[in-house]
Structure 1
Amino acid sequence: MAMELGPGIPRMCPCGALTILLTSKTKENPGRRFYRCGVVFGENHLFKWADEALVEEIEALAVKQSTIENEINEVKDLILDMKKDITEIVEVVAALSTKLRK
């Protein structure tokens, strides 16, 4: 039995060879695309259906997108806090400047 690696689109076989994308010509899966080792087909070499790999890739990207969105919201909050701090600093400097002019 051929082996499957982690989630998503496989780039390399465990043997170190690059993967290739082929189309099944079997009666069970006619026209279905799959990734396999670019050198050897068989045990200890990669085999993965392309449709499953793409779904996994999209799921992984959705998780990354969610993480990035959360990080962006945290940065926005930090920027708002900095703007408030800058406003307070400007007000203090203006008050001190007014006091020094008197």
Structure 2
Amino acid sequence: MEIGPGIPRRCLCGALTVLLTSKTKENPGRRFYRCGAVFGENHVFKWADEALVEEIEALSLKQSSMENDLIEIKEQLLDMKKDLTEIVEVVAVFSTKLRK
């Protein structure tokens, strides 16, 4: 059983996963994650190499999203600076008029 993309940290039963090394003829030395409490059909199993690729892909998407958010925040900050400059100019004009 697999749960979601990336490195499985918990099994659906709630147990933490463990990272083990295969000793089978088909996959000697290949690392895998599995339920730390129970080995069986209804518990998590995922090859580590596949989990790591998925984890990197997910992190890449998150990074891209954060970069886009940062660009948007910078644009909003520039707009706020322009607004503030206009407010300061208006206050200066009113201040000058009030002194006369």
TM (norm. structure 1) is 0.90
Summarize deviations over 1:5-42 as a string: whole Å, max 9, x none: 11111111122221110001112211110001112222
How far residue 94 of structure 1 moved from its aligned partner, in angstroms, is: 1.1
Between the two proteins, the alignment pairs up a number of residues equal to: 100
Distance 1:73 1:34 in 2: 38
Give 3-state SS (helix, strand or coil) of 1:43's partner.
coil
Distance 2:98 2:14 in 1: 73
For 2:29, the aligned partner's letter is G
Q: Where in structure 2 are the equivalents of 1:42-57 lying within 5 Å?
A: 42-57=40-55
Distance 2:39 2:98 in 1: 83
Who is 1:78 aligned against?
76
Distance 2:99 2:43 in 1: 81
Moved segments of 4+, more than 2 Å? none
Structure 1: 5+ residue runs without aligned partners?
none
TM (norm. structure 2) is 0.92
Match of 2:99 among 73, 98, 101: 101
RMSD: 1.1
